[in-house]
A and B are shown apart, each in its own frame.
Chain A
Amino acid sequence: MNKVELRGITVHYGEHAVLEDFSLTVKAGRIIGIVGPSGCGKTTIVRSICGFINPEKGEVLIDGKLVYSKTGRVNVPPELRRIGVVFQDYAVWPHLSTYDNVSYPLKKRKTPKTQIPELVEEVLEQVNMIGYEKYLPSQLSGGQQQRVAIARALTTSSDFLIMDEPITNLDAKLREQMLVEIRMLQEKLGTTIIYITHDQEAAMQLCDEIVILNDNGSIAQIGTDEEIIKKPANRFVFQFIGVSNFLPTCIKGGKCYLSLDEEILLDDNIPQDYPIGKTRALLGVRPMDIVFDDNSPIKAKIVQATFLGNIYTYFISLGKEEYRVQRIATGETDDDKYREDLTVGVKFVNVKYFDMEESV
């Protein structure tokens, strides 16, 4: 079943188009990540679903029911849409205690007075905030305010949550912990969660499905983390989800060459995913997928070598550019034989080809 359906949503702020004919379907009972660079329109999507803004065009359906349609003149107010929202800036009310913040939705939904304390307790337990009932937000840390915000969203609806960059303001360790907790919560309650973030790693760790947005708010790719890693839809996605190197290539006489100062043969055939009908394209490769191989005809000079953790990071110069290479230490004695100023042969594995013209 579909929890949310957006159909052809268009939102402008003044002249500036944020969403243009944006459509998206979210299935019930899953965590879906919406990932995109800052300012691409993620919060605007949230606000359209919740009813805080009225898009100029398009329709919004929740649980199959039309809640917004410009042409049909339907606009269910936000308070009747029953969505638990965790805001980017928490939006925990500073003048109310933890208990009052969390019980507010219950009061507004006319829950019988006698049940409220019990329900609040239950939710606070889920977010590990028992004992903080009387605290004001100013007496809580960022992470604790975050939990209050999640608890409040849960009392609003344990069925459908939207979290807008909920953990960006937390430190790394707490972030990790919150991700695990959100996942556990979802599994326990079967909640549908739309998880908004600009952090692709968190999204891949948490979400069943990921929607990657382009800079202009359009959808670049939808898929599981595996699909996105293995088959990035375009150069933007490839670049967005990890550190990436790009090298120019060309096709001549049915063969594929690296086109640096001189042209070096890469492939005797035109690679399968080479942009159709193009004679030039960019080769994309991850640092881990550049391999040192003395037999390779492609020669590069190591400009810089560093060792951190158990990973070697190199910068190699090839043609006019520098590229990043990573290698996991094998623990053998010749691990450090690749030193600065050494000229080495390099080979590329797991390469992807991308259209050159595509703007990023």
Chain B
Amino acid sequence: MSDDTLNKALFEFLCRMGDNTLVLGHRVSEWCGHAPVLEEDIALANMSLDLIGQTQLWLGLAGELEGAGRSADDLAYLRDAFDFRNLLLVELPNGDFGKTLMRQFLFDGFQSLILTELTRSSNERVKEIALKVKKEVTYHLERSSDLVVRLGDGNEESHRRMQQALNELWPYVGEMFIDEPEDKLLSEAAIAPLPSSLKARWETLMRPYFAQAKLNVPDEGYAHKGGKHGTHSEHLGFILAEMQFLQRAYPGSTW
């Protein structure tokens, strides 16, 4: 395998990491000023801030590695939807606060596992970022799991909403664990794990929380996919139209 092929695979992978955090950060930030309690306004702004910070690291490295002179901002603001590599899960509309929390929880579990692996990456730069953001993500998982448990095991209404959120989001979980051709290359080079290898660990990690939350985990079922190679839901286009507006309307400006 040529260095070039591996580089391209790594670029794809870094875009997946960065696009996940970017798009999820965007969705989470939509709650600013609209959360159910003031403490959650603060927590969600903080969460979104972490995710945007992580985006700068992942996409920054992606741009550097690509060597075409694109910055993290160029990648975030000047690619169209088919070049985005995020999971469908993170681009779904927020729904109620329970659905937002459940999505965060499902993602945080995956993210914390993949980051743990990346802290052992053979690529120094990837490893460096993983080490830097691991703590943030551990905290995110602590927070989201705690709230999912408390609401799942709260009253009838909160339980109903959390169960519904889980049912609705479940078909978007499977995509996290699909191996793409790039993943195989990166796993052979010990740069990143095979997503499929995280599946069993994810279940082991998440099941106790679901049990504590008294939530029924749906059967495996159908998994929506396509995000990781650029076939997205209709939602992403609108996210980008909003996010990229200024850069598109006033190209070449300094902000």
Asked if A and B bind, the verdict is no
Q: Which residues of A contact B (CB under 8 A)?
A: none
Q: Which residues of B contact A (CB under 8 A)?
A: none
